[in-house]
Each structure stands twice: as structure tokens, then as C-alpha cells.
Amino acid sequence: FYKIDPNLFAPAIIIVNNVKTGKTFKAGKINPQILANSSAF
């Protein structure tokens, strides 16, 4: 199990909303090439 690439299960983008402050934090980006390779479209 430990030899599995950690990026295999990583989301492309994560967005966190702080309910107390109303601030939104965003990290990551969509990789169009990987998205195209992983879908039949």
C-alpha cells in the first residue's frame, strides 16, 4: 500500500470556506492533459 503514488488520489483543486470569516482558500489547478487522458471525451 505504501508504494502507491500519493498523487494518484490527490484532488486537482481543493477549496475551503471558513464559515467564521467568510474567506475562501483555493489550492491546486486542473491539468487538462491528465483530464483528457483519463476520460473518454
pLDDT of residue 38: 74
**Across 1-41, where does the E strand assignment appear?**
13-17, 24-28
- State the Cα–Cα distance between residues 17 and 22, nearest whole angstrom: 7
The domains of the chain are located at 6-38
pLDDT in tens, 1-41: 567 776 676 667 889 999 999 999 999 888 888 777 777 65
Predicted pLDDT at 16:
96
